[in-house]
Amino acid sequence: MSVIYPMGLLAIFTLLYSSLIITSRLKAVKEGDVKPSYFREFLNDTPPTYVQKITRQWSNLYEVPVLFYAVCVAILALKIEDTVFVYMAYIFFALRLVQAFIHTTYNKVYHRLLIFFCGMVTVLAMWVRLLLMV
């Protein structure tokens, strides 16, 4: 087992999630919910909620996960990978999947916040543990 696998899975998920942005934007233009010119500068129109939710979630996949990728790369570079780090990495990956599901579907803010907080704690714990081991 290695932290490279949850890292790779999260990267693949992020890239595949991009197809939802393309699909939702095409749908919005096709249904007349937004003018195509909106996507040139993201001005002078308001996209429908389904486009906004998917776009915000996609942005979320490039925020906290950066700290996750960094700690995983440090773990690998320092050769201190162990089962605890691997499980923590898989937990973070699973939490990001759950958060994306909540955000993109029923979007209950309290549920999303709880999952987001758990992910933050997981990455924080990975960083603290890393720093204690070096």
What the chain holds in terms of domains, given with CATH numbers, is 4-133 (1.20.120)
pLDDT in tens, 68-101: 999 999 999 999 999 999 999 999 999 999 999 9
Q: Which residues of the chain have pLDDT under 70?
A: none
Three-state SS string across 90-126, please? HHHHHHHHHHHHHHHCCCCHHHHHHHHHHHHHHHHHH
Structure tokens at 93: 């990956």
Kindly report the pTM of this predicted structure: 0.90
